[in-house]
């Protein structure tokens, strides 16, 4: 199995197909396989002449799972993505980020605009980027921490948060590593930072997303953005919707 070493952390990755490269970055508590491969993203993109590169972020899937919170944070997570690109000698690519992956993607197109031609932020929302009340995001983070740390299904938490307990148990994830990730140094872009990004970006939200909400304000701040909202989709079901993948292919062509 292919691994890339980023300092002392081994990051698992895989690639499929030939053509223009596109990097896929999954959400928290899942993996490249669980978030994308299992929902036919690889087939859809490779059938449209794209070279798919997917990785498991640290603490996830087949990658290393350090237990020290200092091993995480925005800088370390985004550096894993760049390390895989460097390993494969990919100078420039499109990038698709889902949920947590969407936040990392936004940071990358801000800090390394020369490395990314187009970006897609899926299952994302304004709260993730400080464009709504910070109290809502803070409460969601607390609830997520409680869900992941619980030994039994957390019936006392909202269903959309308790779902993460299922992800952890179904995938055999390392609970302590995920908790360390949640304690990591998360950096937030300012409105000025977001407004300075000129990478063409598609934002896809679910109308029933109770985890991160919708990304309307984010789309307004990004100068080169396209916003799509699937009214009946929630945070998780977006991964399985064929029209989501069709829209992304059309955007990346």
pLDDT of 173 reads 87
- pLDDT value, residue 244: 99
Average model confidence (pLDDT) across the chain: 94
Under 8 Å CB-to-CB from 217, ≥6 apart: which residues? 126, 131, 132
Residue-range domains of the chain with CATH: 3-252 (3.40.50.1820)
Predicted local confidence at residue 126, as pLDDT: 86
Q: Are 45 and 120 in contact (CB under 8 A)?
A: no
Block residue for tokens 């080169």: 224
Which percentage of the chain shows pLDDT scores above 90? 80
54 backbone dihedrals φ, ψ, rounded to 5°: -120, 145
Q: List, for residues 221-252, the tens digit of each pLDDT value.
A: 999 999 999 999 999 999 999 999 999 999 99
pLDDT in tens, 154-180: 999 989 999 999 988 888 889 999 999
Q: Is the pLDDT of residue 131 over 70?
A: no
Query: Strand 3-6 to strand 9-16: parallel, antiparallel, or no bridges (unpaired)?
Result: antiparallel
CA–CA dist 236, 161 (Å, integer): 11
Model pLDDT, residue 243: 98
Q: What is the pLDDT of residue 130?
A: 67
């Amino acid at each position: 199995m292919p691994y890339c070493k980023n300092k002392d952390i081994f990051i698992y990755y895989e690639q499929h197909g030939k053509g223009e490269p596109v990097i896929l970055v999954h959400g928290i508590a899942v993996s490249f396989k669980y978030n994308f491969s299992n929902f036919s993203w690889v087939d859809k993109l490779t059938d449209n002449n794209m070279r798919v590169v997917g990785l498991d972020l640290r603490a996830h899937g087949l990658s290393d799972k350090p237990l020290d919170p200092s091993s995480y944070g925005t800088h370390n997570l985004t550096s894993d993505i760049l390390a895989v690109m460097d390993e494969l000698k990919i100078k420039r690519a499109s990038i698709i980020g889902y949920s947590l992956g969407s936040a990392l993607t936004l940071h990358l197109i801000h800090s390394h605009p020369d490395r990314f031609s187009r970006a897609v932020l899926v299952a994302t929302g304004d709260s993730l980027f400080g464009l709504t009340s910070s109290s809502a995001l803070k409460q969601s983070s607390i609830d997520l921490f409680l869900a992941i740390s619980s030994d039994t299904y957390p019936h006392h938490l909202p269903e959309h948060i308790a779902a993460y307990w299922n992800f952890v148990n179904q995938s055999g994830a390392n609970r302590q590593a995920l908790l360390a990730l949640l304690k990591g140094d998360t950096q937030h872009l300012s409105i000025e930072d977001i407004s300075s990004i000129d990478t063409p970006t598609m934002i896809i939200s679910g109308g029933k997303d109770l985890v991160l909400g919708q990304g309307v304000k984010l789309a307004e701040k990004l100068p080169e953005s396209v916003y799509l909202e699937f009214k009946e989709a929630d945070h998780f079901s977006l991964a399985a919707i064929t029209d989501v993948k069709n829209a992304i292919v059309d955007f990346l062509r």
